[in-house]
Amino acid sequence: MSSIVYLRNKDSGKVYVYSNSREADPSTGVMRNVRKCIGHVDPETGEIVPNRSRTKGPGLKYVELGPRTLIRRMSDGSGLTGILQICFSDRWEQILRAAEHIIRDRDPLSMLPPDPYGMDPTDPSPPAVSLVSMLDRDGIDSFYRIWRKRFDCSDIRYLILESLQSYDPREWFRQGGDDTVQSMCMGLCIDAETGAPVFLERLPLRPERDSDLEIITDRLGWMGCRRILFSSDSCLADSGALTGMTASDRDFVVRIPQSEPIHADAVAEARASPSGSEGLERSRGHRHIHTAVRFIGGKKVHLHVYHSAENAEMEMGSFLELIDICREELLNDRWEHSHRWMYERYFIITEEDGQPKVEPNSDAVMRHSEMAGFLVLASRGIRDPEEALSVHMMHRWAEERFDDLKNRTDQLDLKLYLSHRLEARLFLQFVAMAIMHRLHSELASCGLSKDADAEGMMRSLESAGAVVRPSGSASYTDPGSAASAAIEALGLDIRSEYSRLRGRRIP
């Protein structure tokens, strides 16, 4: 993720603006910081003045084409463009532009810059505000119905996603407690055969019981699914919910949190098993070490236990840091409501000579350390531990895509507290996810790099563009080896994209 850095020249006092990003060294593979000057700050207006064109000469303009061409190529190849043109004939280009911003910058959508191509110059509203206010519910529903026809959908993975609409939950706690935390649940349908996103909906309530899943199943009747496998990362993990789902013969993959007794039992059984002891010694990444069988509600449920040494180290590091923070809060009588569960579980608070005495609960800390790095998945309908893990990792990937929503800038500027605007914002996120899935599929098929990511691909293509002369003729920049390899492997036609934009309007 790139960031903006301001540096002042000590001699002239001029403030220069740099784009700071992390990239892998092509020879060593080591991540390094790359800083590039993109302009300077106007001392009168405070605005950023971009650098002049890369090519010297009066009247020359640089048009960045690489990321835009990539988005259009993926959208055309997946069929998104045609469906967007049907459902949003006057807004489809802005939707793709917003998707590019979401994938490329991971900044609040309200920071979407004006697009000189295909936008109404008479609209005074900021681009993102205008877009989310104009996307109507009928158009979004029509899109999903047409988009669903591109997939078989006989076997669906229904991912129950959760997101806080606040970047820092503690800020909401300070305003009054748990009831002020603005949370949101979503349901994302994934086609099991292709792995492509098919449908996204906002759930009115957090699913807690099997009856909630029954309502979701009935609502998805229009999709014609023969099998729905539910995936959850935190809800539906208690014994009551598991019993209800097994009694209804539902297929599911649910992560069991450490607070549930079934998690500790499964980890203890895994540690005691020969396969578990051997697996712990060689656990790199998430390594399956044991599968146990439990009868819940009279039916068989598989408990898959995995371990990651890297995750254990990171979890304990964060946990011990939080322990130190909580201890300081207790000693200085600055209690945080959001840390109350930490105070009660991991500290022994007594009084000595009229002063509070705070000591860590060593037994509780030790029990936590024994659980660090373990992942327990309960599954029904999937026996293979690797397949269950792949569903869970797909769930994590999808939930991370909604990290963009965790900012107050969009909440206020886009007025996402209005239902129809939030629905439009989620739809734009879905379009971005569909494009990213297509990109990942094409990267895998062309063998470019199994570790390549959408954001990195966008950054490498930023140098691919055209220098436009006043006459309208253009010369194309040399994008470098990394971008050239991507352009060739993915079949990107930079020149055709420029011709299309020139037909629209070049600024």
Average pLDDT, the chain: 79
Q: Which stretches of the chain score pLDDT less than 70?
A: 1-6, 20, 22, 24-31, 44-48, 52-62, 106, 115-125, 164-183, 275-285, 404-407, 447-455, 471-472, 502-507
Q: Which two tokens stand for residue 412?
A: 């206020």
Q: What is the pLDDT of residues 227-244, one digit of tens each?
A: 999 999 878 888 888 888
Cβ proximity of 432 and 99 under 8 Å: yes
Q: Quick one: pLDDT at residue 506?
A: 41
Q: Quick one: pLDDT at residue 271?
A: 85
CA distances from 315 to 321, 322, 361, 371, 420 (A): 10, 11, 18, 10, 38
In the chain, where the domains are located: 1-51, 61-121+432-507, 141-305+375-406, 311-370
The reported pTM is 0.76
- How many Å apart are CA 360 and CA 357, to the nearest integer? 10
Cβ proximity of 18 and 36 under 8 Å: yes
Give the angle 18-20-26 at the CA atoms, nearest 5°: 125
Q: Quick one: pLDDT at residue 287?
A: 84
Q: What is the pLDDT of residues 241-292, one digit of tens each?
A: 888 898 888 999 999 988 788 988 999 888 888 765 555 544 446 788 889 9
Helices assigned H by DSSP within 309-418:
309-331, 340-346, 362-371, 385-400, 408-413
Burial string for 115-135 (b: 16+ CB within 10 Å, else e) reads: bebebeeeeeeebbbbbbeeb
Helix 80-87, helix 66-78: angle, nearest 10: 80
Give the angle 464-468-473 at the CA atoms, nearest 5°: 115
Place of tokens 């784009």: 19
Nearest to 383, CA basis, from 305, 274, 263, 291? 291
Q: Quick one: pLDDT at residue 55?
A: 46
Q: Is the dihedral of CA 43, 49, 51, 57 positive or negative?
A: negative
Q: Quick one: pLDDT at residue 128?
A: 82
Nearest to 188, CA basis, from 421, 418, 426, 12? 426
Place of tokens 């790095």: 373
User: At a CB cut-off of 8 Å and minimum separation 6, what does 147 contact?
Assistant: 79, 80, 83, 198, 199, 434
